[in-house]
């Protein structure tokens, strides 16, 4: 066993002494030691119940003859971090989480890992660590929150962000907004729509790194606790059989994950996270590959914020297995891919059926023939940009309008709130990329305000930052190269005409190559916004959004 390095032999008597200081008995030290990474804290709703999930995991490990050893990981709530300097830390926390798990697992030589996670950057951070360490590992999430209810209508986090804009537009009162505050988020779990957290938990299941149900079983349910126990039992099988993440996270597994991504209409943040996980696994995913898969995968689901369905509906309709089953009908899923369950994908989905065709459409009746995410390129984004195509109004799939250029999210939000944005405008928010932000902030407040003001069918937003999974509308992010690195977006001026053609994957500014080159030749990089601490180090090491915003090797 790997853990023998800390507990076997004469020269490990001091180590055993320290382990016995923890209360371990000899019988426990004879068993495989399983690190259980618990990302519980008291500030993230998706994580506030993870002590319960972790306790169930540990019970499963013990039932299967292992010794569970719990240790913590940090987690950021993107919703609470939104629209202030705290959001700079969200994406950057992904790398910290991966490093923390690596550090603990290597320092203490665990035989296997159970990664107890839930929200946004924690899921990919833990998967990156699992791929990097390549010791038997399995993921269990805390599960999705139930939808809230407001005056008979089901709602989720995106609803209240958009309601703020509705107040500014005079469509609802502040008293009604206060009602939303009380009812939008009814309890524990990752927010109820197909936002980043639920996207990544569903894709973890599709990749084969979690048991069936991981993405959709509700957070509050007993079924989630049972799944956690089964996960603890299953990690012991992985350890005994020597099954490692490298056996699961193969190129074909990532193809399956991307196919499910496009069918579900997941968050654009998956375009950052899947390449980052793949990089740790020694698999290359670039934007051209993502576009190629998106072109061939039909969009089968429209969950909040794109539609009226929520994660609980997806679960009741058959979950990720049913979605993969529909895709498999036309050979769009590789059935021979291995999973941590011990079964091949084909074995898992063989008995899965769609129980509600309103939630998971038939492969013969999709919302669109192409996937939920599109990669755009052109003279404004030579290395690519990303849009959640499935969430864009048909009127905005092709758009031409004048740029309204802002050098920060705060500047853009102030302009939107003051009413100076006109129909037809293209709002450009730059210097918010991985390096320029630093940290590539999400822009949910500006996009939700535009929707609340009723301008989502008239106004586009572009940024070298990123958008929340709760964002919808013609919101194009990840523009690469970013402004802070002298990308073309740094040369834009108010009034420049922007051409957006999402169906044909184009994003251009109507400037001649000579004019664009002349402007960029006169461009000077701005002073770093953060000059000390973790973010300053992160800004020096982070790479482009087009490569997953991973750190330089």
Q: Which of the 8 DSSP states describes residue 147?
A: P
pLDDT at residue 511, rounded to an integer? 97
Half-sphere exposure of 488 (CA within 13 A, CB side): 26
Q: Is 370 a catalytic residue?
A: no
pLDDT at residue 451, rounded to an integer? 86
Distances (CA, A) of 356 to 58, 248, 300, 432, 537: 35, 30, 12, 41, 49
Copy the structure tokens of residue 223: 């079924």
What are the residues whose beta carbons fall under 8 Å from the beta carbon of 392, sequence distance 6 or more? 472, 473, 474, 502
Q: Write down the pTM of the prediction.
A: 0.96
Distances (CA, A) of 123 to 99, 184, 207, 215, 246: 13, 24, 13, 11, 17
Instruction: Give the pLDDT confidence of 284-327 residue by residue, as tens digits.
Output: 999 999 999 999 999 999 999 999 999 999 999 999 999 999 99
Query: How far is Cα 154 from Cα 150, in angstroms, rounded to an integer?
Result: 6
Lookup result for tokens 């010794």: 67
Instruction: Give the pLDDT confidence of 231-254 residue by residue, as tens digits.
Output: 999 999 999 999 999 999 999 999
How does DSSP assign 28-92, residue by residue?
Answer: HHTSPEEEEEE---SS-TTTTTHHHHHHHHHHHHHHTT-EEEEEE-----HHHHTTSGGGHHHHH
Helix (H, G, I), strand (E, B) or coil at 149: strand
Quickly list H helices, 265-370: 270-280, 287-296, 311-316, 319-328, 345-349
pLDDT at residue 54, rounded to an integer? 98
Low-confidence ranges of the chain (pLDDT < 50): none
> For the chain, what's the residue count?
553
Query: How far is Cα 519 from Cα 490, in angstroms, rounded to an integer?
Result: 9
Parallel, antiparallel, or unpaired for β 398-406 and 497-501?
Answer: antiparallel
Residue 86: exposure state from Cβ atoms within 10 A (0-12, 13-18, ≥19): middle
Rg (the chain; Cα; Å): 23
pLDDT at residue 20, rounded to an integer? 98
pLDDT at residue 165, rounded to an integer? 86
- What is the longest distance spanned by two Cα atoms in the chain? 76
Distances (CA, A) of 512 to 148, 413, 464, 487, 516: 50, 30, 22, 15, 6
Backbone angles phi, psi at 395, to 5 degrees: -65, -25
Lookup result for tokens 């951070």: 125
Query: How far is Cα 355 from Cα 184, in angstroms, rounded to an integer?
Result: 27
- Extended strands (E) in 430-471: 460-463
Query: How far is Cα 464 from Cα 237, in angstroms, rounded to an integer?
Result: 44
What are the residues whose beta carbons fall under 8 Å from the beta carbon of 388, sequence distance 6 or more? 265, 267, 268, 306, 372, 373, 467, 471, 472, 475
- Among 172, 45, 66, residue whose Cα is nearest residue 113: 66
Half-sphere exposure of 42 (CA within 13 A, CB side): 0
Query: How far is Cα 195 from Cα 119, in angstroms, rounded to an integer?
Result: 10
Query: Catalytic residue among 39, 468, 480, 546, which?
Result: 468
Vertex 240: Cα angle to 236 and 242 (nearest 5): 110
For residue 123, say if its preceding peptide bond is cis, omega within 30 degrees of 0: no
Helix (H, G, I), strand (E, B) or coil at 371: coil
Copy the structure tokens of residue 205: 């299941």
Query: How far is Cα 63 from Cα 34, in angstroms, rounded to an integer?
Result: 13
pLDDT at residue 422, rounded to an integer? 94
pLDDT at residue 104, rounded to an integer? 98
pLDDT at residue 445, rounded to an integer? 86
Copy the structure tokens of residue 535: 């973010």
Query: How far is Cα 495 from Cα 540, in angstroms, rounded to an integer?
Result: 33
Instruction: Give the pLDDT confidence of 30-42 residue by residue, as tens digits.
Output: 999 999 999 999 9
Distances (CA, A) of 553 to 203, 541, 549: 25, 9, 12
Copy the structure tokens of residue 208: 């084969």
What are the residues whose beta carbons fall under 8 Å from the beta carbon of 175, sequence distance 6 or more? none
For residue 305, say if its preceding peptide bond is cis, omega within 30 degrees of 0: yes
DSSP H or E run through 206: helix 196-207
């Amino acid at each position: 066993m790997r853990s023998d390095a800390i507990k076997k032999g004469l020269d490990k008597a001091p180590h055993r002494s320290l382990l016995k200081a923890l209360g371990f008995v000899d019988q426990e030290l004879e068993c495989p030691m399983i690190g259980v990474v618990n990302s519980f804290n008291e500030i993230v709703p998706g994580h506030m119940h993870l002590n319960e999930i972790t306790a169930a995991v540990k019970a499963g490990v013990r039932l299967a003859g292992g010794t569970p050893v719990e240790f913590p990981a940090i987690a950021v709530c993107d919703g609470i971090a939104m629209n202030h300097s705290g959001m700079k830390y969200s994406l950057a926390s992904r790398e910290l989480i991966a490093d923390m798990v690596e550090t603990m697992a290597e320092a203490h030589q665990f035989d296997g890992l159970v990664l107890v996670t839930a929200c946004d950057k924690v899921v990919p951070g833990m998967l990156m660590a699992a791929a990097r360490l390549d010791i038997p590992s399995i993921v269990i999430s805390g599960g999705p929150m139930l939808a809230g209810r407001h005056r008979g209508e089901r709602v989720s986090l995106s609803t209240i962000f958009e309601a703020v804009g509705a107040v500014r537009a005079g469509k609802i009162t502040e008293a009604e907004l206060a009602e939303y505050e009380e009812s939008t988020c009814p309890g524990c779990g990752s927010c109820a729509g197909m936002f980043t957290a639920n996207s990544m938990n569903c894709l973890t299941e599709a990749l084969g790194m979690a048991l069936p149900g991981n993405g959709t079983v509700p957070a509050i349910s007993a079924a989630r606790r049972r799944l956690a126990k089964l996960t603890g039992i299953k990690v012991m099988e992985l350890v005994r059989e020597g099954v490692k993440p490298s056996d699961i996270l193969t190129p074909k597994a990532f193809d399956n994950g991307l196919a499910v991504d496009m069918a579900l209409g997941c968050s654009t943040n998956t375009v950052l996270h899947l390449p980052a996980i793949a990089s740790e696994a020694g698999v290359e995913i670039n934007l051209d590959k993502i576009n190629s898969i998106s072109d061939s995968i039909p969009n089968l689901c429209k969950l909040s914020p794109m539609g009226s369905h929520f994660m609980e509906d997806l679960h009741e309709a058959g979950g990720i297995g049913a979605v993969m089953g529909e895709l498999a009908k036309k050979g769009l899923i590789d059935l021979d891919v291995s999973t941590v369950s011990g079964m091949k994908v084909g074995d898992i989905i063989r008995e899965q059926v769609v129980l509600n065709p309103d939630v998971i459409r038939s492969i013969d009746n999709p919302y669109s023939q192409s996937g939920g995410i599109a990669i755009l390129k052109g003279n404004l984004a030579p290395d690519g940009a990303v849009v959640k195509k499935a969430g864009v109004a048909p009127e905005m799939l092709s758009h031409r309008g004048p740029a309204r250029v802002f050098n920060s999210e705060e500047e853009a939000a102030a302009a939107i709130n003051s009413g100076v944005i006109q129909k037809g405008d293209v709002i450009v928010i730059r210097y918010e990329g991985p390096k320029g932000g630093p940290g590539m902030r999400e822009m949910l407040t500006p996009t939700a305000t535009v929707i609340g003001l009723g301008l989502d069918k008239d106004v586009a937003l572009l940024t070298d930052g990123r958008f929340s999974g709760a964002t919808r509308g013609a919101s194009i992010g990840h523009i690469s190269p970013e402004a802070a690195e002298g990308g073309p977006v740094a040369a834009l001026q108010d009034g420049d005409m922007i051409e957006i053609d999402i169906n044909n994957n184009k994003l251009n500014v109507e400037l001649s190559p000579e004019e664009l080159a002349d402007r960029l030749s006169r461009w000077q990089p701005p002073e770093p916004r953060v000059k000390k601490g973790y973010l300053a180090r992160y800004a020096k090491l982070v790479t482009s959004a087009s490569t997953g915003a991973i750190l330089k090797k």
